[in-house]
Amino acid sequence: MRLGFLSSHSGTTMEAVLKAIHNGRLAAEPALLISNNSKSRSVEIAAQYGMPFYHISQKTHPEFDRNDEVILAKLREHGVDIVLLVGYMKKLGPQTLKAYSGKMINIHPSLLPKYGGLGMYGQYVHEAVLQHNETESGVTIHLVDEEYDTGAIINQRSTPVYATDTVESLSNRVLELGYETLVDTLSQIAAGEIVL
């Protein structure tokens, strides 16, 4: 199972997956990282693990269709089986979405369908959870489709929301839960226990 990563920022989720592969916990091969941000920490992490990296953005390919075409070409060139969106902040084009339909996975820091959609990412999700006095939050692993956070749900895990929680404390707990849930989900896919 060859994994392609799309990341825009810190790359901590990608790093958790790479560690699991390195430690023998996950039977998969890291194929490449594509980032729209050449200065993201995810680029450094990819280099540490000897994984090829490509900067593909509006700067390198201003036309949306061409951007889409190049992303798909790189994924195919590296024999990617499953694409992981790990903090990737750009909308993907129709060619890539079609080619990897049912094989592209996103991790979202809430129990979808709650607190998903355009603008719902990172701290904005946790702020909304706390503002609405939710008693639980969590992570959702789902397939990617044409809209934000609407693809079929593969796995969900919850965590309590405490009265003392801040955006930071909730975010940290959900992040850790997300790392575990994603690695476990990928392990189940690799073992044939979850069929995409």
Q: How far apart are CA 9 and CA 85, in angstroms?
A: 11
Classify strands 153-160 and 136-143 as parallel, antiparallel or unpaired. antiparallel
Q: How far apart are CA 97 and CA 19, in angstroms?
A: 27
Contact (Cβ atoms closer than 8 angstroms) between residue 154 and residue 119: no
User: Is 106 marked within a binding site?
Assistant: yes
Q: Catalytic one among 78, 108, 126, 142?
A: 108
To the query of whether residue 61 is one of the catalytic residues in this protein, the response is: no
φ and ψ at residue 137, rounded to 5 degrees? -140, -160
- Of 152, 146, 132, 149, the C-alpha closest to 195 is 152
Pick out the residues of the known binding site for (6R)-10-formyltetrahydrofolate: 66, 106
Q: Which residues are catalytic?
A: 108
